Chain A
Amino acid sequence: MKRTGVFICHCGINIAGTVDVKKVAKELSNHTGVVHSEEYIYMCSDPGQNLIIEAIKENQLDSVVVACCSPTLHETTFRNTVKSAGINPFQCEIANIREQCSWVHKDMEKATEKAIKLTKSAVERVHRNESLDPISIPVTRRALVVGGGIAGIQSALDLANSGYEVILVERSPSIGGHMIQLSETFPTLDCSQCILTPKMVEVSKHPKIKLLTYSEIQDISGYVGNFKVKILKKPTYVDPDKCTLCDECTKVCPVVVPNEFDLGLTGRRAVYMPFPQAIPATYTLDIKSCPGLLPIACGKCADVCEPEAIDYDMKPEIVEEEVGAIIVATGFDLYDKELMAEYGHGKYADVLDGLQFERLCSASGPTTGKILRPSDHKEPKEVVFIQCVGSRDPELHCAYCSKICCMYTAKHAMLYKHHVPDGQAYIFYIDIRSGGKGYEEFVQRAVEEDGALYLRGKVSKIFEDKGKIKVWGVDTLSGKDIEIDADMVVLATAMRPSEGAEELAKKLKIALDKDGFLSEAHPKLRPVESVTPGMFLAGAAQAPKDIPEAVAQASGAAAKAIAILSQERLFHAPTVAKVNVNLCTGCGMCVHVCPYDSLSLKDGKAEVNEVLCEGCGTCSATCLRAAIEVKNLTPLQVNEMIGASLGG
């Protein structure tokens, strides 16, 4: 039988105000296996902890229950306390008699009764706790960053500049993400490309960064500190080492397809460079639009390529890497225009989304920075901007706020006015969210200096009429119907997780929230960590956010990754599953349910990889033979806790 000590904290009057702590201590002192029981005003204080240490030594305690606040707060504190007194930290359990008792009840007698049950339940648990040692695992001191937008670039640079090797994987032919498509950035109006391209170049030149573009994650196995990654490197059919960027190939390529970089406002060839500052600076032959390689149906590009850089026989390649930490920065896409048919996007040439308008404003864009209507290349004199297109619409579209649209719409209105001084910008909005350094002032500037006309209300109808786009709506402040004969309409379309993020999340075993963004481990306290140890989140893949926020999170994620990579060994909680081989029949049901692939069958019996196991216990509830349980929260322990909770 164990010798358990019970320590009841008053927490000032937080507990003692509602729970008769003396009665709890007395009641527990009569409980089987409890050899010491006392209360004190603040157990977590130094004198409180010393009291525990003294009691352990005096009474030769081998286990401890502290009845106090939630274990999320002081479990670590008290486990360290008992450790310093020579007891295994896993012989200490917490009974939560504050959050789950004293703070939610008023009747002292009843609350005391419940506190006794809660404490006895913890005593029953600790009576059957095993002493455990943390599981030690070595660390591969390199990192993988998935996604080469601003967040991925920032994470990769921070990691590399701290001395760790980084593998940066980007799905498209160049890094840069959506930021490279932008014209100017709010609230400073610096040129987006001018501030991003130096970072892109730094990535390409950095000796610690291995850049894999046109590549996708195929498979990930392993665990924190020791991931194995398979990366599929798609063939570009152009050897970047031989290519001299002479551009002869695009001149002869007979195919024209919409240019993704300009959101379809221009065309590109099947062999192309995504944009002039692309990193890596090379061409890609897009197999989907090329008339055919096997057999070669055209072959013109190879014919004109003097350095013979074009290689139709290039094969997909699987690159295998080992890393210790992973940062996921897969970014966002705009909400499908097909789903927003009511605004005429995709139907009318002069109804654009925000990113398309960025391209129109951009000096490197299809109109070299002149704002012209795509339909007839005339300068639009009246432009309607519509906010919350698809956002904040739980019935039909996305329930969430896409966060950046208020700001970039103000920016668009401003840029438009700078380009077309005699034009008028109208902005339909629900309300303006301009929290952020210099943001509110920026919006005010759009109104005061650039005369943007903000109309609070929703648009009811958009249709084309005699070369104009008629916008009908209501100004809910004045209650008046509004009709505008616009030359152009710009939609602030909702941000959604980038395509393929869901599939990637499944491979990485990262959870998604209800909107499909990657879930952080804790909404407040662990915003850059995923629930899977060793995997971190950066940028708009986690939630809509603007550039400074994405950069901040990216640096945060890098710091978190460095916290792992800077260590030679990691320690993993030892409260993992264990198999009773005598009872195991090898049916494999536990293997199937394990979210971490930590179970396998060996010689017809289940076997736990303790390093992978997170101790969730789903295996234990699945097993029909009671052959697998999680250490220190076994069915036996739970069953005894049930008894104690019912006062029996």
Chain B
Amino acid sequence: MAEEFEPKIVAFLCKWCSSAGSDLAGVSRMEYPYNVVPITVMCSGSISPLYILSAFSRGADGVLVSGCHPGDCHYIKGNFYARRRIALINKLLDFIGLEPQRFQMSWVSAAEGTKYTEIIKDFVKELKPLGPQTKLGRDL
């Protein structure tokens, strides 16, 4: 039997909420799939749509963007800009025919280790039946 497909996921986490939330998941020893490699950035507002496209282009099977809940942004309003920007790239990815499950966004606060864990678990579960992402992967 062939080995089960293990999706590769890049997660862009803001430093103050989502990365801290994932730290809390660690401190609380909550187990979750290892498929996600987090990249901590200062604020979800700093996540350019190009980062997301680059991740897909470099072979990511899924991309997660996570920031502070609205109103909780360490930088006051960065996540509001992120919400707009990411909504647009999300719609565009869907429009060109990328499976909608492959791109996700979440709000995870520093206190939501459990939520972070659940998001990762569900993300991996949803990606497994899809198989590898080849649509945008660099075919050079």
Contact = CB atoms under 8 A, between A and B. Distances in A.
Given A104-B29, A642-B54, A117 B37 contact: yes
B78 A595 contact: yes
A118 B26 CA distance: 15
A519 to B, nearest CB: 7
A27 B8 CA distance: 20
Contact of A642 (B22, B25, B58, B77): B58
A625 interface: no
Nearest to A103: B26
B25 A616 contact: no
A96 interface: yes
A248 B40 CA distance: 68
B76 A642 contact: no
Instruction: Indicate the member of A107, A622, A642 with the most B CB atoms within 10 Å.
Output: A642
Interface in B73-129: 73-78, 81-82, 85, 110-111, 117
Contacts, number: 147
A509 B75 CA distance: 9
Contacts of B69: 514
Given A618-B75, A621-B48, A106 B31 contact: yes
A615 B42 contact: yes
Contact of A630 (B39, B46, B110): B46
B78 A638 contact: no
Contacts of A641: 39
B43 A616 contact: yes
B136 interface: no
A511 B72 contact: yes
Contacts of B29: 103-104
Interface centre among B19, B25, B27, B48 (most CB of A within 10 A): B48
Contact of A617 (B23, B25, B34, B45): B45
B5 interface: no
A646 B22 contact: no
Interface string A60-101: 000000000011100000000000000000000000101111
A512 B71 contact: yes
A295 interface: no
Contacts of A101: 26, 34
B50 interface: yes
Interface string A486-522: 0000000000000000000000011111100001011
B30 interface: yes
A334 B42 CA distance: 37
B75 A595 contact: yes
Interface string B1-25: 0000000101000000001101111
Interface string A615-634: 11110111000000010010
A104 B72 contact: no
B42 A531 contact: no
Contact of B34 (A114, A121, A596, A635): A114
A642 B39 contact: yes
Nearest to A94: B40
A535 B9 CA distance: 39
B26 A646 contact: no
B34 A99 contact: no
B42 A513 contact: no
Contact of A99 (B26, B49, B55): B26
Interface in A115-158: 117-118, 121
Contacts of A630: 42, 46
Contacts of A114: 34, 37
A642 B51 contact: yes
Given A121-B39, A642-B51, A645-B37, A618 B71 contact: no
Nearest to B55: A642
A394 interface: no
Contacts of A118: 37-38
A132 to B, nearest CB: 15
B85 A111 contact: no
A647 B51 contact: no
A596 B71 CA distance: 16
A242 interface: no
B41 A646 contact: no
Contacts of B58: 642-643, 646, 648
23 contacts: A70-B23, A71-B40, A96-B40, A99-B24, A100-B26, A101-B26, A103-B27, A118-B38, A519-B72, A521-B74, A615-B42, A616-B46, A617-B45, A618-B43, A618-B45, A618-B75, A620-B46, A621-B47, A621-B81, A635-B50, A638-B39, A642-B10, A646-B37
Interface of A: 70-72, 96, 98-101, 103-107, 110-111, 113-114, 117-118, 121, 509-514, 519, 521-523, 531-532, 593, 595-596, 614-618, 620-622, 630, 633, 635, 638-639, 641-643, 645-648
Closest 6 CB pairs of A and B: A617-B46, A99-B26, A618-B45, A616-B75, A645-B37, A103-B26
Given A104-B25, A121-B37, A621-B46, 12 more contacts: A96-B40, A104-B29, A104-B32, A510-B76, A532-B76, A616-B78, A621-B49, A621-B82, A641-B39, A642-B54, A642-B58, A646-B55
